[in-house]
């Protein structure tokens, strides 16, 4: 399923005129399990992460994605939908996420929880969830900075149109969590936020 999704992401993006360029701080060993945390400014971010992560992976995302023509296929099978207004839904989602990590499946979680309503987009406060998961299961976090995707295709592309071209992403080195405890959740969250904020502020 993940191989199909990766191929679909590459070809569907290319047909629409969008291509992805990844700049790596250091090579990533995709045989290991990670939590990938990108900032979120465009629906293209989902396709880009499908292309980036060269291993079995699952997204955690809003429940509405189950209703999408393509996203629904994956959010009803390999991905993890969550209704953040429901404590029970959130509990079940994070329980499933923990099971995925234990199976060696990399998770992709947008820590802002949604695409910014601002244009140009601002980096919103991060949710605690992915960082608590990372610490609880001693999983490294890979921050990913999307620098210009919003200029090409903001949100779903309807309000400001689309500008086909190259979407650029900076893949930061993995941040280890094996030495951290639950008391460090906020510290880790702030560290990842600062890494991404500093990178996208350079553009």
Q: Which tens digit of pLDDT belongs to each residue from 53-103?
A: 999 999 998 877 777 666 666 777 789 999 878 889 899 999 999 999 999
pLDDT at position 159, please? 85
Q: How far apart are CA 75 and CA 31, in angstroms?
A: 23
pLDDT at position 46, please? 93
Q: Is 85 exposed, middle or buried (0-12, 13-18, 19+ CB in 10 A)?
A: exposed
DSSP code for 174: P
Answer left, alpha or beta for residue 92, where phi above 0 means left and psi between -120 and 50 means alpha: alpha
What band does 42 get if pLDDT is binned at 50, 70 and 90?
very high
Residue 3 has pLDDT above 80, yes or no: yes
Q: Above pLDDT 90, what percent of the chain? A: 76
For the entire predicted model, the pTM comes to: 0.93
pLDDT at position 195, please? 99
Closest CA to 31 of 149, 152, 174, 150: 174
pLDDT at position 18, please? 96
- The mean pLDDT of the chain is 93
Q: Is 72 exposed, middle or buried (0-12, 13-18, 19+ CB in 10 A)?
A: middle
Residue position matching structure tokens 């490294």: 140
User: Mean of the pLDDT values across residues 118-143?
Assistant: 96
């Amino acid at each position: 399923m993940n191989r199909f999704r990766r191929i679909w992401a590459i070809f569907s993006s290319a047909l629409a005129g969008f291509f992805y360029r990844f700049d790596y701080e250091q090579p990533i060993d995709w045989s290991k399990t990670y939590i990938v945390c990108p900032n979120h400014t465009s629906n293209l971010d989902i396709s880009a992460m499908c292309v980036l992560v060269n291993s079995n992976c699952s997204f955690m995302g809003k429940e509405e994605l189950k209703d999408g023509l393509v996203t629904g296929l994956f959010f009803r099978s390999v991905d993890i939908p969550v209704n953040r207004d429901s404590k029970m839904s959130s509990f079940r989602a994070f329980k499933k996420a923990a099971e995925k990590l234990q199976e060696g499946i990399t998770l992709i979680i947008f820590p802002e929880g949604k695409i910014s309503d601002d244009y140009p987009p601002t980096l919103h406060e991060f949710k605690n969830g992915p960082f608590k998961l990372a610490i609880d299961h001693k999983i490294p976090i890979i921050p990913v900075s999307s620098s210009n995707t919003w200029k090409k295709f903001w949100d779903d592309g309807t309000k400001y149109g689309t500008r086909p071209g190259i979407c650029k992403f900076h893949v930061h080195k993995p941040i280890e969590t094996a030495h951290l405890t639950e008391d460090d959740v906020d510290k880790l969250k702030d560290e990842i936020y600062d890494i991404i904020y500093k990178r996208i502020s350079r553009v």
